[in-house]
A and B are shown apart, each in its own frame.
Chain A
């Protein structure tokens, strides 16, 4: 609850900062302001898929029992890796799609086109389609145990493919703007970007935790033994 309020506050203030307070960019003018939401959205998308990969690996490994090593880590042992994988894939897909759309909107006035085949865009698009497939797989398998195992396998396979896609498309074409490092960007812009990045991170955490709770309770209900018929008859 606190997290949601905080996220909302930061998002609203971040929007004001981005739209009104930050200086306009030298070459692109006010159009550049969409970067303040495009970049954090893409980062949250990538964070989501990274978490999905980690959860997929963790699910397939034998239980780690981290709580035995360090007491506080017991909370990690209780995490349902499969539910978290489902939640992170969905939240990652949402933010990734948002980021891609925002980038597209930005591209029209700056590059003149909604889409180009440069490595970053193409890899991102493929990534999103792949994870949409992952979510479709989850929907089409009825058995909970199999769904978890197969999703973990597919999650790993997709994640391993991402760098390969990146390299192959880079050889195939390249055009995306050279990444600005904070040293070459106006400090005021860096501040706004970081502010919005934190705001998006909090929003991501809010979405992730709600989605995780939903996934976990669904899974528990599926794996629970069926209620006895005699209870109803009595």
Chain B
């Protein structure tokens, strides 16, 4: 038996699937482009809805950023499973000798990365629209140690954790919704109530990273976001096989 017929382990299977998704995406870049312009349009809508006074927009910047990412994520997540509907690709994946958990990790990671890229792309735009500046120094207070972060570092941390928070439950729900009727309304209907704690934490932490954190709350909000991520990535890992099995 040659080496190429070995059944891949979890990490290798995950890596292969992530690579497949990213490669598909890179070849057309259609989804990434559409997401970027959709998020941009959302930011403009928020700016118009909140009024020409940039002080209001600046104070609401944290929430606005995350609402734009969240609304765009519905498109991203829906699309990530729509590609598997063509030519019964999902059945092909199921029959392949890899754990369904690898499929979950791969999809969730790919979606998370795409959302992160989106967040990084629209943050400067929001910065320009609302006249934002990053806080010079944020003190991160963890249970065992305290260390300073730059505003940029804090912002990066929030973006990573927040996008991961959307990606995990979003991937499960996208897998379910892609096979149900009214899939375009079912995904946001299921996802939005669930993500409220993550949204609250991410929006608050973003505001702190932008405006400064005199009361040292940043660590707590990030802790909430990290706990949310841990719980939902674990839960997703355990429950996803039940969703894609027949």
Contacts and interface: CB of A to CB of B under 8 A. Distances in A.
A140 B227 contact: no
Contacts of B243: 149-150, 153
- Chain A at the B interface: SS class: helix
Contacts of A133: 186, 189-190, 193
Contacts of A153: 172, 176, 239, 242-243
B235 A160 contact: yes
B169 A164 contact: no
Given A137-B180, A168-B200, A126 B193 contact: yes
A132 B242 CA distance: 22
A154 B190 contact: yes
Contacts of A137: 176, 180, 186, 190
B200 A164 contact: no
Contacts of A157: 169, 172, 194, 232, 235, 239
Contacts of B176: 137, 150, 153-154
A47 to B, nearest CB: 20
B75 to A, nearest CB: 19
B219 interface: no
A143 B200 CA distance: 36
A130 interface: yes
A73 interface: no
Contacts of B245: 149
A156 B190 CA distance: 13
- Chain B at the A interface: SS class: helix
Contact of A142 (B181, B228, B242): B181
Nearest to B196: A126
A158 B194 contact: yes
A186 to B, nearest CB: 38
Interface in B202-224: 204, 220-221, 224
Contact of A146 (B179, B197, B232): B179
B95 interface: no
B11 interface: no
A149 B176 CA distance: 10
B190 A140 contact: no
B57 interface: no
A143 to B, nearest CB: 9
29 contacts: A60-B242, A129-B192, A130-B190, A132-B189, A133-B189, A134-B190, A136-B182, A137-B186, A140-B180, A140-B181, A141-B181, A146-B179, A149-B243, A149-B245, A150-B180, A150-B243, A152-B242, A153-B172, A153-B243, A156-B239, A157-B172, A157-B232, A157-B239, A161-B193, A164-B224, A165-B196, A167-B197, A168-B196, A171-B224
Given A137-B186, A146-B179, A157-B232, 4 more contacts: A154-B176, A158-B193, A165-B197, A168-B196
